[in-house]
Amino acid sequence: MAKKIVVVPGLTPEWMRKRNGIMKAIDERLLLGLERPGAGLTLDQLQKRAVEDRCFCKKKAEAAVLPFKHDKTPNGWTLLEDTPFDGKQFVPDLVEFLKSGESSVNGELMKWRAKELNAHLGQRHAEYLLEHQELITKEWQGKYYLVFPGTVWQDSIGLRDIPYLVWSRGEWYLSFRWLEDGWIGYDRLVRHRG
């Protein structure tokens, strides 16, 4: 039986054509800036404009209560979306987002399902769990990547990244993965248990 790959509702050929046009325009402006300094835009200027024009994001980041322990802005990243976290203890629960017959889904659909499943936690939740690894069930070690799609960064080359926790060398680590990647069976959303 063939596995299905699912895309987010509303992803149409017209949307892809529009996206391709935007990407082409970005590449042309970058090339112009490289060929004739001052005539085009720098990568930083393009990223700022993309965020301001909302080419890559649907909403601006919301203010959160706690600062990031692993702030990506010094690396040239821009915060696009974030789920606030008040720092209060919580016990994590894992949620599968794939439906029967699916082998993977794209990042937008995974984020959409995360909201539906009340599993839209963000990077600060992941950082809290890093500091309180005893709250993470031992059976998850080496079996699942714990995904936190409530925080979305735009990296220094313009791609969107979300945080996840991965078990390696005897402990959990925070890492980031392109939202546009396919999300598969060993990825799990995290939500508050209860």
Tell me, what's the pLDDT at 136? 96
Which percentage of the chain shows pLDDT scores above 70?
Answer: 69
Pairing of strands 187-192, 92-95: antiparallel
Q: Is 83 or 32 the better-scoring residue by pLDDT?
A: 83
- The predicted-structure confidence for 90-131, as pLDDT tens digits, reads as follows 999 999 999 999 999 999 999 999 999 999 999 999 999 999
pTM of the predicted structure, to 2 decimals? 0.68
Confidence label for 188 from pLDDT (cuts 50, 70 and 90): very high
Tell me, what's the pLDDT at 38? 61
- The predicted-structure confidence for 157-168, as pLDDT tens digits, reads as follows 999 999 999 999
Tell me, what's the pLDDT at 55? 42
Confidence check: pLDDT of 58 > 50? no
